[in-house]
Amino acid sequence: MGKAPVTPTQTVGPFFHPCLLRPDAVITTLIKPETEGTRIRIEGRVLDGDGLPVDDAMVEIWQANHYGRYRHPLDQRPLPLDPTFIGFGRTGTDEEGRYWFETIKPGVVPFDDQQDQAPHILVMVFARGLLNHVVTRIYFEDEPANASDPILQRVPEERRGTLIARREEVDGSVVYRFDIRLQGEGETVFFDV
Which range of residues in 97-105, 118-126, 139-147, 171-179 is near other proteins by CB under 8 A? 118-126
Instruction: Please pick, from the candidates 39, 96, 142, 154, the single residue that binds other proteins as defined by CB under 8 A.
Output: 154
- Contact call for residue 114 and other proteins (CB under 8 A): no
Q: How far is the CB of 173 from other proteins (least distance, A)?
A: 26
What b/e sequence results for 162-182 when a residue is b if at least 16 CB atoms lie within 10 Å of its CB, and e otherwise?
bbbbeeeeeeeebbbebbbbb
User: Which parts of 55-94 interact with other proteins (CB under 8 A)?
Assistant: 56, 60, 62, 64, 70-75, 81, 83, 86-88
Query: Which residues, 6 or more positions from 115, have their beta carbon under 8 angstroms from its beta carbon?
Result: 148, 150
What torsion, rounded to 10 degrees, do the Cα atoms 89, 45, 14, 135 define? -60
- Contact call for residue 45 and other proteins (CB under 8 A): no
- Contact call for residue 186 and other proteins (CB under 8 A): no
- Contact call for residue 192 and other proteins (CB under 8 A): yes
Query: Do the Cβ atoms of 175 and 168 come closer than 8 Å?
Result: yes
Query: Do the Cβ atoms of 109 and 117 come closer than 8 Å?
Result: yes
Q: How far is the CB of 166 from other proteins (least distance, A)?
A: 21
